Chains A and B, each alone.
Chain A
Amino acid sequence: MTLLPELSEDLLSSIDQPLKVQTCDKTGKEYLLCDYNRDSNSYRSPWSNEFSPPLADATYPSAKLRKLEIAANDAFDTYRELYFEGGVSSAYFWDLDDGAFAGVILIKKIGDGKGRSKGAWDSIHIFEVQEKARNAHYQLTSTVMLYMLSSKNELGDMNLSGSMTRQAEMDGIVDDPSMHIANIGRMIEDMETKMRHLLKDVYFGKTKDTVNDLRSIESLAKVRKQQELQREIASKLQARQQ
């Protein structure tokens, strides 16, 4: 970002760029990059908890949070496999003031590119947790970026891409810390599934309807004639009923 350096920090956290993947030096597993596992120009692997490139005086999550983070990465690994059947996922947690904490769950799946169509799905689920004794309040902001590209002879080039964002709030019981993962997990699962339906509607319903509004498949003269005919029939039926 070179426009206004002071705006860069804000923009970096609000503009959604496609998620980048990196391989963990220690474990060989892949992880996703974002502002929340970044310190200077280094990124922290959720598997090894180490920064790459190595960074002195880097910021790490507290020991308690790191335990939760490990559990989240494992749990969402399973979630990812069941829903995405491939792809990469990562979870990063950080402390907030007043004992609250926050985290982000990232998922990236690139389609297999069969049939000259390419697709990619990026999920960014950011949540905040406020605890009070055995209760917790969760706030979730979910963004899904979806890219679909197609290049075929009759079609030429087609690019259908973008993102959608939704929010949710919920209260949950936390008898022990592990329950956070279950609460957040259920919240994200419901949200992501809801957004999947929404995306399908908008991408393949709404934009398609607009294209067919921009050029009429049928002759407009024919359409108008049909509408005229329908009106005539309707008014004749009405007259007969009186």
Chain B
Amino acid sequence: MEGFLLGEVRQEETLSISDSQISSSEFLHIVEVHNHEPCAQLFSFYDYAGKVNEENLNRILKDRRKNVIGWYRFRRNTQQQMSFREQVIHKQLTNILGIPDLVFLLFSFISTANSSTHALEYVLFRPNRSRYNQRISLSIPNLGNTSQQEYKVSSVPNTSKNYASVIKEHGAEFFDKDGVIKDIRAIFQVYSALQDKVQAVCAEVDQSERVKEKIQEEVKKLKEEISLRKRITAAEERRHQESLNTENHSLQDDSALSDSSSPPSLTRVLLQSPPLEVSLDWPPNSTALPLYPAAPPPAPPSAILLPRPQAVGSPGHPSPGLGLGNGDGSSSDSLNRQAIGQEDQLEEEEEEEEEDEDEDSSEYENLVSERLQSPSLTDTAVSLGRPAALWPDGDTHSSGGSS
């Protein structure tokens, strides 16, 4: 998950007076992050080689380009270092955006084995500076101390009559006819107006969230409908092919299951095994589509049918179930990966990006052979219209017909 940091960079002069009575000033370089522009998905402005596409960049940033002060990335279980590709991208962004001191904010997420405790770490880098000066502290402005200890509960004792009369006479300015400090009313008005505005915008946000949810639901249903139709067509074509006694399967399968927008090599690797979660948890006669038992991965939307490489426990073996708190402490525990909120929608893509795809295919081969040992599961898989090609011995299972 990644995006851009928008804000402002300024310098503040801090004065300090030293013993020698000469006031010295220090210039403090302050980077203010005001807000962020999230990217809908990874690789949206660069490719696998790390080459930045300026057109895409402008499309994402639009008129916010002038406010960019940095970019950010979220990764799981990785070191707090910039990866090589990130460095390459950073250099290009520096040049393209013309920001000499572009910053990079790296988020890293780690959890304990039993998922009871999680940590989100963040480091702010200034990669364009010298090697030894690259990290900067990130401070989060907050309320600080709101304790009421600053209120005075008693006055400093004073018996001077002059004192009493002067402060009473001139201090009267501050009080209104009810004896209330005027400032109090004034500041309360400011606060009140602000809170009203917060409520109003909140209501607008709520409405927009509902509209967004509704359209997302509609889009999801449309996609389901489309993939269902495609699978029905594919299953029919396959039956036709089977009846002609050929083993030509690759093309139809690809069209049924692949998503044209994902890189072809990845699609091929993933298709070699049935979606594990589906096999384990999907009721055989279900008419619904292979959505994940836990929250469905929201993006990339069209890849919903593609099995997730490490969705079930550590590589090489499926986990017994997707029960939560299953004690599987591996970092690739599916729920753990899907955990952490809306920001993590693209976390799975992250894994795909960072792993060697060759490794993935060998894992799948292991998984495929395990699949063969559990016929009930393969039947399930078949009923969803999986290609017969999954089983190397070329067995064609009688398909119960896709639902």
Q: A and B from one assembly?
A: no
A residues whose Cβ falls under 8 Å from a Cβ of B: none
